[in-house]
Amino acid sequence: MRCQLNICCVLLLTVPSINVLAVETAPRISDREIIETLTRLEAGQKALETSMNQRFAAMEANIDQRFAAMEANIDQRFAAMEKSIDQRFILVDQRFEAVNQRFEAVNQRFDAVDQRFNAVDQHFEALERRLDDLLATMLAMFSAVILLIVSLFGYIVWDRRYRSTSAGDASCSVGARLGA
């Protein structure tokens, strides 16, 4: 077992050194070749940059065009919506006018009813005055009848007293005359 452990340690130490042996030597590049390559790279970079700028400009123009179309579409929709809302408000105003006219008609009917009630009130007041006059007349007549009855009773009482006293005197005088 110990032997296997030693073999594993040796293998682990030699594996990284194998990678070091795989390095190749690069051929020498001259400064001129480096400069030419850098120049080509710069030209490619500039071409790439101009191409990207053109694409961005086209994309911006396309986006601006889409936004303009979208704004025009939104403006058309808002205009149509405003027109629809205005028409609805006009219809609502017309309905309110119709309702106002109905209320005015109802108010006129109430005014007519009020006038009728006022006429009925005046008629009741006239009837009440007439009844008051009739009541006063009836009271006066009733009072007159009561007065006549009381005076008749007074006369009857007076006449009975007078006749009874004068009848006694008269009976005496009639008896004296008769020879009593």
pLDDT digits (tens, 9 = 90+) for 84-117: 999 999 999 999 999 999 999 999 999 999 999 9
Domain ranges of the chain: 32-165
Phi and psi torsions of 24, nearest 5°: -100, 160
**Burial group, residue 128, by CB count within 10 angstroms (0-12, 13-18, 19+):** exposed
pLDDT band at residue 180 using 50, 70 and 90 as cut-offs: very low
pTM of the model: 0.38
Q: Residue 13 above 80 pLDDT?
A: no
Long-range contacts of 106-112 (CB under 8 A, 24+ apart): none
Tokens read off for 82: 């405003």
pLDDT digits (tens, 9 = 90+) for 24-42: 676 777 888 888 888 988 9
pLDDT band at residue 20 using 50, 70 and 90 as cut-offs: low
Angle at 97 between CA 94 and CA 100, to 5 degrees: 155
